[in-house]
Amino acid sequence: MFTSKANKIFQDVIEKYHVINTVDQPFINVYNKDTNLLEHLLYRKCWIDTVQWHYEDIIRDPQIDPVAALTLKRQIDASNQDRTDMVEYIDSYFLEKYKNANVKDDATINTESPAWGVDRLSILALKVYHMNEEATRTDASDSHRAACQTKLNVLLEQRVDLSTAIDTLLSDIENGDKYMKVYKQMKMYNDDELNPVLRSQK
């Protein structure tokens, strides 16, 4: 199943990140895009999400220097754009893979594309990792660990359900019961022509 591969890659990425555990560490993709394109995209996608997860932790520091916070906000904006771009690359992969599928007359479209489901799965992997840390944190109280274990159990159940839904969607697309139609994210705030503040400064 596709999600078995994806979940394993996401786990590998998150564990790799936490070896050094800094947002400015160098990124090396272990998959060659020419021979393992899907794995390459999934690895890159989860790395972006993992770095951004820690950006979000840092910027919530109440003692953060305002200048540093502004710089970090710019980094988060850029990361969000990278995240969206990677989703579109992954959807392009699936569009190409299933381009010859025999779409049935009664085929329907899904509420989200496969790659946006993958986006949620990647974020869920981060939630599972960090909730497990809290559930096993030795310097936390028993009540804290128990509460986090309860949340972790829900997250694990959610991952099973989401994985099943994504695999079912891909199977339905392959069999022609569903069809893909991807709308690219037309983000306006990063565009010099569409953001009035940026446009006024040109």
User: What are the start-end ranges of the E strands in 21-123?
Assistant: 108-109
Q: What is the pLDDT of residue 120?
A: 98
| 119-157 per-position pLDDT tens digit | 999 999 999 999 999 999 999 999 999 999 999 999 999
Q: What is the pTM of this model?
A: 0.90
* CA–CA distance, 189 with 202 (Å, rounded to integer): 15
Q: Which residues make Cβ contacts (< 8 Å) with residue 27, sequence separation at least 6?
A: 44, 47
DSSP conformation class of 109: E
Distance of CA 168 to the CA centre of its chain: 19
What are the structural domain ranges in the chain? 2-191
pLDDT in tens, the chain (202 residues): 999 999 999 999 999 999 999 999 999 999 999 999 999 999 999 999 999 999 999 999 999 999 999 999 999 999 999 999 999 999 999 999 999 999 999 999 999 999 999 999 999 999 999 999 999 999 999 999 999 999 999 999 999 999 999 999 999 999 999 999 887 766 666 666 767 766 667 6
CA-closest candidate to residue 89, choices 185, 193, 188, 187: 185
